[in-house]
Chains A and B, each alone.
Chain A
């Protein structure tokens, strides 16, 4: 969900922040239609086929509420294809924040609200209730694990970053420091990134990556691993790695190749959690994520522009949540999506790195300017709504007493 080129002249004039019909990289409808065609539909079809061919094959999805909403609106056939997958019983759906937000860091109350909104959405659409939590961009800390536990989750996902694990392996289940029952699953980032980032990289020694080769790498862990957690951006399939790289063929043949070794099997996150005891406790006092080489929060919160934008949106929230204006509340929540802040990142901006590749804006500054203009409009709407509410409160105060209140 991208903010259009929203100018200062739009402030107070119109409040449609997301409706760009330019057909460009800021046109949300065009983007959804494109990724549905290139990634979601063919990848879902491949997975469904995989499950038919190998009933042991398992997979889990974490899909934000914003993504589901946009699919419902612009590409409903994607929702149907996910339903078909969930109905096989081989597919688990995970919980996350509805708006793919950074609320776990900025606003705990809002975080809980958004996780609940997402649970409800998943239940409404797919008829299931998740029991494992994965936070936005795999952002994780002891504190977030604690929050997930308090919300009743039996498991949580995190990046298996070196600086977190030290000598330990991501191939076991851990217990987060400061929690009682919740279990922690760690992304095997080498094997995951072999597919997500390196699959088509010709300069990589592993290229070309074939299903048998990858299955060998997986099997080589046998004897010293309970689980290998492959987590990746779904758009790896067809969008980041285009169809012509052979990524769908790889996906098609992978289950069969892995199952050729009788010691291997597939399991959903819940099954792994139920099956294995914790290997030990893992202390993660600071936030980790799956982004960039730093695997920290710097992709979203490193420069003053990002901090300013985040401070502004969460400060507005303190008042917005007390106002009875569902549209204002929804727009405010959509403006919390982490991508808005990712596009403002200036880390290595000069070198034209991955941020530049993923950003629909010409520069981080364009992203900041449009966003802050939207903030100004949001503030205007808030003060209008506050005025209305005050008016309402005055009326409320003077209304006649009812019998029930005597």
Chain B
């Protein structure tokens, strides 16, 4: 399995998804080798790590921090903004991707495998190179297309071509939602038969954090909290969130809007909030993770994800685990599988505001959504994704049908290893 990042050294959802998928596949009996481009001190009990850049030095703490600091970079490079990489490394991101590919053949030679599984364009050239060496089938997993990252007008031609190369070279494409599949078909001209949809999952664990102190004070004084979590980029619709907030405040003035995240639209968002006179109602807490984020979830009355384009969108599932009602845009992949969620078009400010106000006003409605949402999210497990992936593997010609279905008596590890 070719990846680009892995928690805790990740900048976004791709690393989280790779962790969830590899863990669930492994517990379903798949012997898994996870390949990363750079040497980082990562480890996970369920899989073996291989670094393409084997000869290189183990990266230093500082370098890693820079590499996966999230999308906080203030450098001027558009690339670095988009991919959250510091300039020294992203200035030639495509070069890095190609360098990764140039070493993938050797990795394939050294490590026995039945299937090659590559995540997003960053690893497609590596996956293709590995396939050229071993002749094993290639699964191209698509978590986000260039269109999702850039909007339709700003597409990077080189990246688009790498994606296309990956889709064409793959034996099967796995998309994280129907809407992503549609994009692969319509924007890249791929046959729909070649694209399978496998939804992401999430690992359920109780959120036992206590409410963050300042928010606790606000709530004690009868205020409500509407939460936004995610990168502050065009893709996530922060501007729609601000417009929605303005409408909500007209009806529910005792409401605070908490923003967790950072990104290239952060200062624009802050300016927008200020120009509408809403600054006293917005709390920007920067990029949060782990316990800090958990304690903010605990305080929220509703979570809103107004994404303009979201191939999947794991964050609402985190909110649901924390018993927070969620409003997601219909332009998100996750909205395809959620029942206990409110849904609006990202551009339908009135509809979003109407729904948020309704949740803030009706305690019983809020309780219904939190209790049932928590139950629903328990069933959205990575295990399900792993089962679907295994049947995708088994459908491949050259995989020798050696992947076992979970639950079969022979779940003991097979001799198969794969990337």
Contact = CB atoms under 8 A, between A and B. Distances in A.
Given A7-B350, A304-B368, A363-B343, A373 B358 contact: yes
Range for the number of chain A residues in contact with chain B: 10 to 19
A343 to B, nearest CB: 15
Contacts of B367: 304
Contacts of A9: 247, 350, 353-354
Nearest to A9: B350
Contacts of A394: none
Contact of B365 (A7, A305, A350): A305
Contacts of B339: 349-350, 363
Contacts of B400: none
A71 to B, nearest CB: 32
A305 B368 contact: yes
B53 interface: no
A98 interface: no
Given A7-B350, A362-B343, A369-B354, A346 B362 contact: no
Interface in B340-364: 342-343, 350-351, 353-355, 357-358, 361-362, 364
A31 B16 CA distance: 48
Nearest to B342: A365
B372 interface: yes
B317 to A, nearest CB: 16
Given A7-B350, A304-B364, A305-B365, A369 B343 contact: no
Given A8-B251, A346-B372, A362-B343, A373 B354 contact: yes
B364 A308 contact: yes
B171 interface: no
Q: Is the interface of B mostly helix, strand, loop or mixed?
A: helix
B212 interface: no
Given A349-B339, A350-B339, A365-B342, A8 B365 contact: no
B364 A305 contact: yes
A317 B353 CA distance: 29
Nearest to B357: A8
B376 interface: yes
Contact of A350 (B342, B343, B376): B376
A297 interface: no
Contacts of A373: 354, 358
Interface string B244-264: 000100010000000000000
B350 to A, nearest CB: 6
Nearest to A375: B362
A303 interface: yes
A353 to B, nearest CB: 12
A305 B363 CA distance: 10
A237 interface: no
A308 B357 contact: no
Nearest to A307: B364
B229 to A, nearest CB: 21
A380 B216 CA distance: 33
Contacts of B368: 303-305, 346
Interface string B35-50: 0000000000000000
Contacts of A305: 364-365, 368
A140 interface: no
A378 interface: no
A268 B364 CA distance: 45
A240 to B, nearest CB: 25
Contact of B358 (A8, A304, A307, A362): A8
Nearest to B369: A365
Contacts of A350: 339, 376
A359 B279 CA distance: 41
A365 B353 CA distance: 14
B354 A7 contact: yes
A8 B250 CA distance: 11
A372 B359 CA distance: 11
Interface in A1-26: 7-9
Nearest to B252: A8
Interface in B309-357: 339, 342-343, 350-351, 353-355, 357
Contacts of A304: 364-365, 367-368
A277 B132 CA distance: 87
A174 interface: no
B358 A372 contact: yes
Interface string B120-134: 000000000000000
A189 interface: no
A231 interface: no
B253 to A, nearest CB: 14
A321 B289 CA distance: 55
A57 interface: no
Contacts of B247: 9
Nearest to A368: B365
Contacts of A365: 342, 355, 365, 369
Contacts of B342: 363, 365
A349 B364 CA distance: 18
Interface in A332-387: 346, 349-350, 362-363, 365, 368-369, 372-373
A98 to B, nearest CB: 29
Interface in B115-147: none
Interface in B362-415: 362, 364-365, 367-369, 372, 376
B358 to A, nearest CB: 4
Interface string B159-185: 000000000000000000000000000
Given A8-B251, A8-B353, A349-B339, A308 B376 contact: no
A7 B358 CA distance: 10
Contacts of B350: 7, 9
A305 B371 CA distance: 13
Nearest to B358: A369
A314 to B, nearest CB: 15
Contacts of A303: 368
Contacts of B355: 365, 369
B266 to A, nearest CB: 30
A368 B342 CA distance: 12
- Which of B357, B358, B376 neighbours the largest number of chain A CB atoms within 10 Å of its CB? B358
Contacts of A8: 251, 353-354, 357-358
Contacts of B362: 308, 368, 372
Interface in A302-320: 303-305, 307-308
Contacts of A307: 364
A303 to B, nearest CB: 6
Nearest to B250: A9
Contacts of B365: 304-305, 308, 365, 368, 372
Contacts of B343: 362-363
22 contacts: A7-B351, A8-B353, A8-B357, A8-B358, A304-B365, A304-B367, A305-B364, A305-B365, A305-B368, A307-B364, A308-B362, A346-B368, A349-B339, A350-B339, A350-B376, A363-B342, A363-B343, A365-B342, A365-B369, A368-B358, A368-B365, A372-B361
Given A9-B247, A373-B354, 5 more contacts: A7-B350, A8-B251, A304-B368, A308-B364, A369-B355
Interface of B: 247, 251, 339, 342-343, 350-351, 353-355, 357-358, 361-362, 364-365, 367-369, 372, 376
The 5 closest A-B pairs by CB, nearest first: A304-B364, A369-B358, A308-B364, A7-B354, A350-B339
